[in-house]
């Protein structure tokens, strides 16, 4: 998704606290690429679940299809 910041290697790795602090500060400052991408994803998610958004339309279609199922 492009919002992660690598601070150490491997699943069991423990990052150096100074490196971790630096990575967090950089990713939260100004217009860091990760922050910009996170905002883009947030905006798309909000639009998708809003009235007329793709998720809203898909849910409406699912409810419509489920309503047409005939139970024996």
- What's the pLDDT tens digit per position in 34-69? 888 888 999 999 999 988 899 989 999 999 999 999
Burial 46-59 (b: 16+ CB within 10 A, else e): eeeeeeeeeeeeee
pLDDT over 80 (residue 19)? yes
- What's the pTM value of the predicted model, to 2 decimals? 0.58
CB atoms within 10 A of CB 60: 11
Does residue 39 come out as left (phi exceeding 0), alpha (psi in the -120 to 50 range) or beta?
A: alpha
pLDDT confidence of residue 64: 94
pLDDT confidence of residue 70: 83
9 phi and psi angles, rounded to 5 deg: -100, 140
Return mean pLDDT, the chain.
Answer: 86
**Tokens standing for 54?**
């793709």
């Amino acid at each position: 998704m492009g919002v992660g910041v690598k601070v150490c290697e491997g699943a069991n790795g423990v990052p150096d606290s100074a490196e971790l602090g630096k990575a967090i500060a950089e990713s939260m400052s100004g217009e860091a690429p990760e922050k910009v991408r996170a905002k883009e994803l947030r905006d798309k998610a909000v639009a998708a679940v809003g009235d007329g958004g793709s998720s809203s339309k898909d849910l409406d279609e699912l409810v419509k299809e489920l309503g047409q199922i005939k139970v024996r």
